[in-house]
Amino acid sequence: MSEHPVEQLLFTYGTLQYAEVQLDTFGRLLAGEPDTLPGYTIDYVDIEDPRVVDVSGHSVHPVIRFTGNPRDKVVGRAVHLTSDELDAADEYEVSLYRRVRVALASGREAWVYVG
């Protein structure tokens, strides 16, 4: 029996948008559309995991934080991935991040990594 993988939507705003990170993490480039996340702002954190720094090429990564202010917004991409790929994204993200469900400006629900 061939089961269709359940498609997940992930809002990306940082290194998960990079082709080299997607190829290393998922083995493919992810399809997606531009979208915006209201009520959040971008901050930056130092990444100490050498594997993540090596793959992304950066030791400082953006991280978003909830403000609740509708004027705050983060611009990014909503990418389509499978549940297995979402697990791979969880492995890529360091412990400074946690995954939560959010409502995007487009009205779609997606996962996003927050600080």
Residue 10 · residue 81 · CB < 8 Å:
yes
Mean pLDDT taken over the chain = 92
| Residue 2 belongs to a domain | no
- Bigger pLDDT: 112 vs 2: 112
Domain annotation covers residue 91: yes
Given a cut of 60, whether residue 78 has pLDDT beyond it is yes
Range(s) of the domain holding residue 33: 7-114
Whether 31 is in a domain gets the answer yes
Residue 24 class from Cβ within 10 Å (0-12 exposed, 13-18 middle, 19+ buried)? Answer: middle
Q: Is residue 86 part of a domain?
A: yes
Positive/negative CA dihedral, 44, 49, 54, 56:
negative
Q: Which stretch of DSSP H or E encloses residue 44?
A: strand 40-46
Number of domains composing the chain: 1
Domain of 55, CATH number, reads 3.10.490.10
In a domain, 1, yes or no: no
**Confidence label for 4 from pLDDT (cuts 50, 70 and 90):** low
pTM of the model: 0.88
Flag whether 76 is in a domain.
Answer: yes
